[in-house]
Amino acid sequence: MKKLAAISLAFIFILILVSFSQAQTLFDKGVKEFNQENYEEALPYFLQAREAEKRSSRIAFYVGLTYKFMEKYHEAIPYFKDAATLSPRVDDAVVELVDVQYHTGNLGEAQKWIALADKEGIGTARLNFLKGMVLAKVRKPDDAIQAFETASRLDPRLTQQAELQIAGIYAEQGKYKDAQARLRATITLDPASDMALYARDYEKIIADRAEREKTWHFAVGMGYKYDTNVVTVGEGPMTDLISGVEGGAMNFGARIGYTAPFSFRTPFSFSAYYSMYADRYFGKTYTRSDGSAGNLTEYNNMANTFSIVPGYSWGRFGFTLPLTYSYISLQGVKGNNFYNEFSWWNQTRYLETQSVTPTLRFITTQNSFGEVFFSYMRKKYFDTELHPEPPEGEERSGDRFTGGLGWTYTFKENKGFVTLRYSHAEDNTIGRNWVSSENRFGIDVLCPIVGPLRVQGSADATYVKYTYDNIFFGEKRRDDIYSVNVALLYGIVKNTDLILQYNYWRNQSNIALYDYTREIYGLGVEYRF
């Protein structure tokens, strides 16, 4: 009996030896193909070896590695798990598990294996690099940067890759100066490498993003314009006495914009704006319709506009609630002109408006979006020397309700756009002469031409119907208003544009007094900082 048992044990031992020998032979063939990067040929050998020797952590590791190099990450996972849990454990299998879990988007599992590696002291350079990749994805930027720096310290060969990844983290945080410093370090380490080439392109993108995401924006400009119809004179017996309506003016403008830093990285946004624009006409006398003398300096004006814009975005949608206050004043009504009394604050209130404009934007394609808006405006006109208290029926103060929609298409890397828009408005004024409804169709275009040259333009067609008979002319007024605005912008130096502009208005009215044509030619310069 003892003899039989001994024979059985010997037979089993021989079978184990044969099985191990077969597994080793198959494994060696697989390794040969693997080393020659013939992964499709290596895989069957490894799988057969695995079948013959199921407890081998080394064979399981190579099966997983082969699947990984074939980019079959899901198939690789169970074999890497066996290699990481069987005895003896293959430490590199833990590293590879982090890698494939990262590639499959299973960041929770990747963090579990990172924790195991930290506990077991598997702190290789590559593991730390992968740790940085995972932590960056789960929005733990400080820990990710620390992991990348550890990887760089453990293996200098990873330094260039680590610097590039750290640059990306800083860019996502809006720390553009830090990001640019890391990109320059990436380039310096090996200027001829593909990674350095990518870093150069990325640095340009970062610079553009930094410019777009500046918290404060300023612009100032000035120019000259020639206006063919300052007074907007119409035709007919009542306007025959009016003359000298063309004239030149200097214009000045300034804009200040603020955007809260969280607006670039959270669904919430907040911005605020102030703009000022002023015209100063050169002194020139003309005859009014009542025979009295006037001066074009009466039309000197200044417009001040303040806006705050809170907003929220989710998915493909964004909502904003612009609140705007505008103050328009007339200047020069006391006789000062551009030459002899440069007094900006000699102002007379003319028009104040307050408005709120809820707006919903939605992305339609990668390069286009639409919007729907509603606006309520309260407007108040004040009496001036040029515009004394109006007769009954002529008071223009009141409420304006507007609803509209638009669609925008961007091109040339968002440097150009085309916008189509439509709006309907109802004016509910105190004076019967100004109660009206309006339909407006428009298009806006910005197109880069070549180098620093750009063309900007807009066109509108507006159709206004007045509700009541005009108290002076005894019929309902109708206006068809067409306008075209074209500007050539040329960047003469950084942040500075030379602007050549042409504006055309044609107001076709059934009442001759309001039927006019107006053209404006302008030349100016604007500096942004």
- Specify the residue for token string 């620093």: 452
Residue 307 corresponds to which tokens in the numbers above?
A: 């806006």
Contact 236, 243 (CB under 8 A): no
Q: How far is CA 485 from CA 223, 237, 421, 460, 505, in A?
A: 16, 31, 16, 9, 9
Contact 528, 521 (CB under 8 A): no
Is the Cα dihedral 235, 238, 243, 247 positive or negative? negative
- Specify the residue for token string 């593991």: 127
Q: What is the mean pLDDT of residues 353-363?
A: 97
The Cα 330–Cα 391 span in angstroms is 20
The Cα 404–Cα 233 span in angstroms is 31
For residues 418, 422, 426 and 429, what is the CA-based torsion angle, rounded to 10 degrees? 20
295 or 509, higher pLDDT: 509
Percent of the chain with pLDDT over 90: 49
Residue 322 pLDDT grade (very low, low, confident, very high; cuts 50, 70, 90): very high
The yes-or-no verdict on residue 280 having pLDDT over 60 is yes
pLDDT at 299: 86
31 or 119, higher pLDDT: 119
Contact 354, 376 (CB under 8 A): no
Q: What is the mean pLDDT of residues 184-213?
A: 86
What is residue 191's DSSP assignment?
T
Contact 64, 57 (CB under 8 A): no
Strands 359-365 and 317-320: antiparallel
Average of per-residue pLDDT values in the chain: 86
- Specify the residue for token string 């002319």: 473
The Cα 102–Cα 498 span in angstroms is 51
User: Rounded to the nearest 5°, which phi and psi values hold at 74?
Assistant: -65, -40
Name the β-bridge partners of 406. Answer: 371, 421
The Cα 419–Cα 423 span in angstroms is 13
Q: How open is the CA angle 351-374-321, to the nearest 5 degrees? A: 85
pLDDT digits (tens, 9 = 90+) for 178-189: 999 999 988 988
Strands 453-469 and 436-450: antiparallel
pLDDT at 12: 45
**pTM of the shown model:** 0.71
Domains contained in the chain, CATH given: 2-209 (1.25.40.10), 216-528 (2.40.160.40)
292 or 423, higher pLDDT: 423
pLDDT at 18: 43
pLDDT digits (tens, 9 = 90+) for 390-438: 777 789 999 999 999 999 999 988 889 999 999 999 999 999 999 999 9
Q: How open is the CA angle 444-449-451, to the nearest 5 degrees? A: 135
pLDDT at 359: 97
109 contacts: CB under 8 Å, gap ≥ 6: 97, 101
